[in-house]
């Protein structure tokens, strides 16, 4: 249930809107279903699935596919984008049975989440403050991890240089596997490998992501599931747990 409901439209059933609170609870209840599936009463599981569909999945699905009436955060440039997408999409990956349905939610995140990155300067600074850097970018990282797992690594947002730069405060580092070598019996390290800086961002401004409705008009001309099916391996044919660390 939306917490940003000053007119009580959601509470009294006139609207169904997804906001920070609703998305967070979707993730919580989808995790509850996954972790306690074997012990929850059947009626409780049915209620959770029904309400997740009614309050989260269907509202997002309808707005994404039709390209109209989208929640503002679907192409917002602040923490709402990352937090709401994380709650909605990770819940979908954990609960929805059909691979093509899960693929639609992943594609929604692929189109919407770049707006969150676009709202952050290329040096990784968060204009909303350090608390929202942790909240917004932290949820972005969790979403990226869930999508990478669900697609068996075929969609990996961590390959984006700006994502690495945001995580490292704007600095790019050379990848390395070992930070130090230490004797098995303990004691001081015999070798240590300091981080090696390779550069900073930006090299050039990041392009503005396209509006979701315009992208959807193009995408719907070629059915989404035909285009998406080649991106998924058999590893993604079952619902996967995509739970946020608490």
**CB atoms closer than 10 angstroms to residue 234:** 8
| Structure confidence at residue 212 (pLDDT) | 57
d(CA 161, CA 149): 20
What pLDDT does residue 13 have? 79
Q: What are phi and psi of 172, to 5 degrees?
A: -100, 140
| Cα-based angle 96, 98, 99 (whole degrees, multiple of 5) | 105
- Examine the pLDDT at 232 and tell me if it is beyond 90: no
Residue linked to tokens 């939306």? 2
Contact between 79 and 47 under an 8 Å Cβ cutoff? The reply is no
Paired sense of beta strands 191-192 and 197-200, if any: unpaired
| Range list of H helices, 96-178 | 99-118, 130-132, 138-150, 161-167
Q: Tell which wins on pLDDT, 109 or 242.
A: 109
pLDDT band, very low/low/confident/very high, at 170 (cuts 50, 70, 90): low
Question: Is the pTM here over 0.85, yes or no?
Answer: no
> What is the average per-residue pLDDT within 114-138?
87
């Amino acid at each position: 249930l939306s917490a940003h409901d000053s007119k009580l439209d959601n509470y009294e059933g006139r609207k169904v809107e997804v906001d920070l609170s609703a998305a967070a609870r979707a993730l919580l209840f989808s995790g509850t279903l996954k972790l306690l599936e074997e012990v929850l009463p059947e009626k409780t599981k049915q209620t959770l699935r029904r309400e997740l569909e009614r309050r989260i999945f269907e509202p997002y699905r309808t707005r994404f596919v039709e390209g109209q009436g989208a929640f503002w955060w679907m192409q917002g440039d602040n923490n709402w984008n990352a937090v709401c997408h994380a709650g909605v999409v990770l819940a979908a990956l954990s609960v929805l049975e059909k691979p093509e349905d899960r693929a639609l939610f992943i594609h929604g995140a692929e189109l919407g989440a770049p707006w969150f990155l676009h709202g952050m300067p290329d040096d990784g600074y968060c204009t909303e403050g350090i608390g929202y850097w942790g909240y917004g970018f932290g949820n972005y990282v969790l979403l990226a991890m869930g999508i990478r797992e669900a697609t068996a690594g075929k969609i990996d947002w961590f390959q984006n240089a700006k994502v690495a730069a945001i995580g490292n405060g704007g600095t790019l580092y050379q990848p390395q596997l070992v930070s130090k070598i230490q004797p098995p019996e303990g004691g001081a390290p015999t070798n240590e490998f300091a981080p090696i800086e390779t550069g900073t961002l930006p090299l050039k401004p990041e392009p503005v992501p396209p509006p979701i409705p315009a992208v959807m008009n193009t995408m719907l001309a070629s059915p989404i599931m035909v285009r998406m099916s080649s991106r998924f391996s058999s590893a993604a044919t079952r619902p996967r747990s995509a739970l946020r660390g608490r």
